[in-house]
Amino acid sequence: AVVTDPPYGIGFHRGGGGGRFGGNERVDALPVIHGDDKPFDPTPILSINVPTIMWGANHYADRLPSSDRWLIWDKRCGSGSNDFADCEMAWTNIGGPARVLNHLWNGGIRHSERGVPRVHKTQKAIVVMEWCLGFLPDAKTILDPFMGSGTTLVACQKLGRHGIGIEIDPDYFEIACRRVDEAA
C-alpha cells in the first residue's frame, strides 16, 4: 500500500508577520518542502495500482479519480479556528464511507507528542498515520514516496509493520532515519 503526505503544490511558507500569529522561528528554520512550488501530479502514485492514502488531496482533487472514502483529520476537535486549516483531507482508493479522526494538533497544544518539537513544516501526528494504517490491515509493506520527517514509517515501526520511505531532501532523510530508529 501507499500512505503518503506529498507536497501539495501550494508553496507553503510561514513567517513574514502574516496572519494573526506571525512566524514561528523554530518551524521557519526547517528546510523548505521540495516540490511544493509547483502543482502536485498524483499520476505516478496512481499508476502503482495498490491501496493508497494521499494527504492534502483536496489541493489536487481535480487530478484524482472520484472516491467515496475520504479521511478527514479534525485538528481543532471543534474548538475554534486560527489562520490555518481546521482539518486535513486524504483521498483513498480503498472504498467505504468517509471517516473523521478528532485529534487536536494546534501548534504546542496537542493531544499527543506533547513537548516533542516538530521537525517538519507540515508534520503529521503519529496517531494520524497509525489511524491510516488501520484501514490497510492486509498491506504487508507500506510505501511513503514523500517521507519527509518519517511519520508514516514511525507509525509502521510502532505497529510492527514494514515500511519503505523515499525522501529527496538529505536533511529530512536524516531526521526520518533518526525518528524511525528512536521508535524501534
Q: Each residue of 130-181: pLDDT tens digit?
A: 999 999 999 999 999 999 999 999 999 999 999 999 999 999 999 999 999 9
Contact yes or no for 163/156 (Cβ under 8 A): yes
> What single-letter amino acid sits at 101?
L
Whole-number pLDDT of residue 99:
98
- Specify the pTM: 0.83
Task: Give the residue carrying C-alpha cell 521537525.
Answer: 119
Pairing state of beta strands 70-74 and 87-92? antiparallel
Enumerate residue ranges in the chain where pLDDT < 70. 9-36, 80-83, 107-108, 111, 113-114, 119-120
Contact yes or no for 104/75 (Cβ under 8 A): yes
